[in-house]
A = this chain, B = another copy of it.
């Protein structure tokens, strides 16, 4: 078998454990020096490949790899860029030009559904060109929406952070209950799927009086009147109501809540679903309203990782290299659930082309019939994924993520005109 170099790239939004996969890829590749030469990482994802902007990871010693695996964000940078299929192969040609210039025989692409599509298409493009390349994906997304895997690395840690946040904010707001009634709304990521919103239901642990009292997900059409009636019922019973809102909830006509126009002169109200929902409640029911938008905080909380999520991110990174060395082209390692309690899982192989551009949504069994909460079945599915903590080194009270030895690879090609 040939010996060649491996190129790793992040794609799309990053997570708290994306670097755990990167570190596992590097370690697994180093363990097979007879097959893999250098391990490069693209700076800023696929755009870095096009720009021939690569890091040589040989600068990472064991200490640096230990820091890398626990560091949130994408250590090498990422980007949102889809390889176009209608540019006369211009972008794809450039990718292979860079692969050839740096003797890349393995391409490991860490991303979501769109990136798995890219893995399948690069496999096909390599075959058309008779270029010796093995393409393997590494699943990653806080949205948990990749088809073909029981869960996605990155989701468990974001889910743990958000469930913890709702638990703690729930204790806060419960202590501030007044005669007027108050609501707390937390807006979480999820344009098309409610996995992260559903995760906050773990905070209540089955207690109907505990936060969150309402969970709004994109899979259930938003019914304003039914929602407000439930807010009122909860608030009259408890004095307050805590609500999780996925950013992508929509009205029956398909419009996003964030686009709601409330002014009689028709101006479009700015802001996201969280503030819109909080203001709607305030205007219609008169309650005191607060809203939280964790935004990037929910996907970068390295100080509060799920140990299960981290272990799975490591496992899929390592498995990707093993799959590549075994000649599995155009695939990605997937997580398979073997049991719920105790939670058991292993890693299987999924075809990247089969699932590309699909999107896994919450199944109907995970939604309460009225669309205003999720079921015990949803909690039972998510609970194991947030399990366990990961100790982080700290310095002066903050996580000590340290510095990374980012060594650039000398360019061999002429510049790329984007």
| Interface residue ranges, A against B (CB under 8 Å) | 10, 13-14, 16, 44, 71-80, 160, 163-165, 167-178, 184, 202-203, 205, 263, 265, 267, 269-271, 275, 279, 290-297, 299-304, 306, 308, 383, 386-389, 394, 396-399, 401
Contacts and interface: CB of A to CB of B under 8 A. Distances in A.
Contacts of A297: 165, 168-169, 292, 294
Contact of A293 (B175, B291, B387, B388): B291
Given A291-B295, A297-B292, A303 B168 contact: yes
A362 B223 CA distance: 47
A44 B75 contact: no
Contacts of A301: 165, 168
B399 A175 contact: no
A171 B275 contact: no
Contacts of A398: 160, 163-164, 167, 202-203, 205, 386
B293 A172 contact: no
Nearest to A76: B175
A290 B13 CA distance: 13
A399 B389 CA distance: 10
B290 A279 contact: no
A25 to B, nearest CB: 16
Given A202-B398, A205-B396, A263-B267, 13 more contacts: A14-B175, A72-B172, A77-B176, A79-B176, A168-B296, A168-B297, A168-B302, A169-B296, A172-B296, A172-B299, A271-B275, A275-B275, A388-B397
Contacts of A168: 16, 72-73, 296-297, 300-303, 399
A19 B173 CA distance: 14
Q: Which 6 A-B pairs have the closest CB atoms?
A: A73-B171, A74-B175, A386-B397, A292-B295, A172-B300, A168-B300
A184 B401 CA distance: 20
Nearest to A79: B178
Nearest to A12: B176
A71 B171 contact: yes
A300 B16 CA distance: 21
Contacts of A13: 176
A117 to B, nearest CB: 20
Contacts of A174: 73, 77
Contacts of A203: 398
A184 to B, nearest CB: 6
A403 B297 CA distance: 28
A388 B265 CA distance: 54
A157 B71 CA distance: 22
A401 B176 contact: no
Given A160-B398, A165-B297, A265-B265, A172 B383 contact: no
Which of A75, A80, A178, A401 has most chain B Cβ within 10 Å? A178
A152 to B, nearest CB: 17
Contacts of A170: 73
A381 to B, nearest CB: 13
A303 B397 CA distance: 13
19 contacts: A73-B170, A74-B175, A79-B176, A164-B398, A167-B399, A168-B300, A169-B296, A171-B300, A172-B296, A184-B296, A202-B396, A267-B267, A271-B271, A275-B275, A292-B295, A386-B397, A386-B398, A387-B396, A389-B394
